[in-house]
Structure 1
Amino acid sequence: MKLSAELTALEARIGHRFSRSELLQRAVTHSSMSSPTRKDNQRLEFLGDRVLGLVMAEALLAHDKAATEGQLAPRFNALVRKETCADVARAISLGDALKLGRSEMMSGGRRKQALLGDAMEAVIAAVYLDAGFDAAKNMILRLWGDRIGRVEADARDPKTALQEWAQARGMPPPVYSEQRRSGPDHAPEFTIAVELQDGQRAAAIAGSKRQAEQAAAKALLAQVESGA
């Protein structure tokens, strides 16, 4: 199967030339473009998440041989979460190669964090199936680059950090509430608000509840830490 110019360029950016080009085709195909003859990337995403996890676990252990499990866990979570995968995807312009249905494309799918993160995991799986674990590992370490070395020792996702901030001040955990859901079923947008016991609150919009909660927590954490 001959690759398009976009996928050939993507091969160059990730540093891997596929012997089974159909794997890369599948990795960039969103479910909005799937058909009986065109498979989407959801199963590859599932596998790629696990390959990424193993590579990051090994890399963190090698990078800091004295770190405890309690120190390693938050660093690991920071490196494998969807937001980081999406950042890596943006760095290699993965969005330019995505195969999307018309409605997903019109709603800005090439820039959506969830789609980019999923596709990045699918590409990892595609490389793994095409050339084995070492090839996938080498690509991951190259693309993640110095993120492994500079991930903060006390890295926490925003929800965890906000909860710890509240508990340190004798407050109960923050309360999250869905304010609104809009958009079509295949591309929903959720507005989530988070509030502390003292009344401070923030809200955010994202393509999934989890992402909206994280974004709202990040906004509120920045607010309380700045004293606003």
Structure 2
Amino acid sequence: MRLLFARAILTFSWLALFSSISSAQSAPLCDVTCSPDPGSSGYGSVAAARPKLLNARGHSSVLAPTAKPLGMKASVASANENETNIGSQSYNYVISILSLPGRAGLDLNLNLYYNSRIWDVDTSGGTVTFNADRDFPSYGFRLDFGFVEYDPTVDEYIVTEADGTKRILPNSGSSYDTTDGSFINFNPTTKTLTYKNGTTVFLRTFL
């Protein structure tokens, strides 16, 4: 009798826990890969958590230092080199896919970037989100030239670069500029991203 009662209590507790966890989840949007729905009520906190240090990816941000495994020389990541983001403990790996010479130094270089950080943590909201960075062609991998996302809750843009590096561009009055010393400017009218060296990139905003 006691055994049956204990099993009943255990089953009820498990069902209660499962239902509470299920109610806290939001359905993802799935194309090639699944990612959080930007139209969901809690997406604002998900977007705000993406550029935080504990969710850092890539190797281009001075705010997210990287380190190589013991025995490897310290240098900027290139093809077939690996690094670890110290703040998020995520692992980076780069594989060169294509390199074509272009005119006036405008070469076409396409790399496949891997990063182990596929769960983004939102400490203020107490949530963990899968594939918030919208990896492609599969989870943890990036094979593109980056994208820009607008966060209307704080009026700022988040630039995700080809290697997964994320930068915040808050509203500076007439445009949006980074505050990490990279001096990157984004003009939302022309959809133009301008780097410190004069390189301009045309990106459509995700949201």
TM interval, shorter chain, is: under 0.3
Bigger Cα Rg: 2
Higher strand share: 2
Higher relative contact order (CA 8 A, sep 6+): 1
- TM-score with structure 2 length normalisation? 0.25
